[in-house]
Homo-oligomer: A and B are copies of this chain.
Amino acid sequence: MHRTKVRIVEEALDANNTIAQANRADFERAGVTVVNFMSAPGAGKTSLLEQVVADIPGVRVGVLEGDVQGSMDADRLASLHVPVTQLNTDPGFGGECHLDANMVRSALDALPLSEIDLLVIENVGNLVCPAEFRVGEDIRVMVSSVTEGEDKPLKYPLMFRACDLVLVNKIDLLEHLDYDLDQFLYNVDQVHPGAERMLLSARTGEGIEAWREWLGDLVRSRQGAPA
């Protein structure tokens, strides 16, 4: 009895998880797979989406774009003729540094859930807080650019641990950097043993086909899964 009571109190305290579960239930009812997409500022989230959102075979993609303010990334993606919804966090004090479940819930009515199979939620650029707040996603993907240095998994372990896939971006710059890719991958395994990873360059297109296929396979595996 006592343990049960404690558990209930803890859950009651975590309003974010309660709302995230409600979001996820709504996404599942609509048959939409949801990716929470995260990285540091400038790692290349939007560029990596530009390369794939319009042409994943058999998968209709929508994007929920999170930014402190402005709609620059949303405008870039909307020009590809995919539905994009902008969510700005600046009504908070100086701008919230992450999306939370309640912000995503406030955007639900604006999302064309009946017209998409995959919703990518592009989070605010930040390696700390976005990993702490579930928003109703099925899966979490992060981007780490090789220009950020190989120490990042050790400095931001929660983010690397929270994600199911690590996209290592800007590999076209490897020859111009003092960056030890093997050390980076070793560091990823230190905080998240066996985490799936993919090497790519949004600029040259290297690895993009594998990223596109990964998203397509994700949606098909969930559509085929028992409800």
Instruction: Give chain A's interface residue range (CB within 8 Å of chain B).
Output: 35 or more
Q: Which of A95-137 contact B (CB under 8 A)?
A: 95-97, 124-129, 131-132
**Given A42-B147, A147-B173, A69–B128 Cβ distance below 8 Å?**
no
The contact string, 1 if C-beta is below 8 Å from chain B, for chain A 161-186, is 00000000010110011100000000
Number of identical protomers: 2
Q: How far is the CA of A201 from the CA of B132 in the complex (A)?
A: 34
Q: How far does the alpha carbon of A41 sit from the alpha carbon of B124 in the complex, in Å?
A: 13
Q: How far is the CA of A127 from the CA of B69 in the complex (A)?
A: 13
A193 at the interface (CB under 8 A from B): no
Query: CB < 8 Å: which of B69, B93, B152, B178 contacts A155?
Result: B69
* Minimum CB–CB distance for A125 against chain B, Å: 7
Indicate if the CB atoms of B155 and A94 lie closer than 8 Å: no
User: Which chain B positions have C-beta within 8 A of A126?
Assistant: 97, 126-128
What sequence of 0s and 1s flags, for each residue 132-158 of chain A, a beta carbon within 8 Å of any chain B beta carbon? 100000000000010111011011111
A178 in contact with B151 given A95-B158, A131-B94 (CB within 8 Å): no
Complex Cα gap A155–B42 (Å):
10
Across the interface, A170 reaches (CB within 8 A) one of B147, B152, B172, namely: B147
Who on chain B is nearest to A162 by CB? B94
- A132 engages B93 (CB within 8 Å): yes
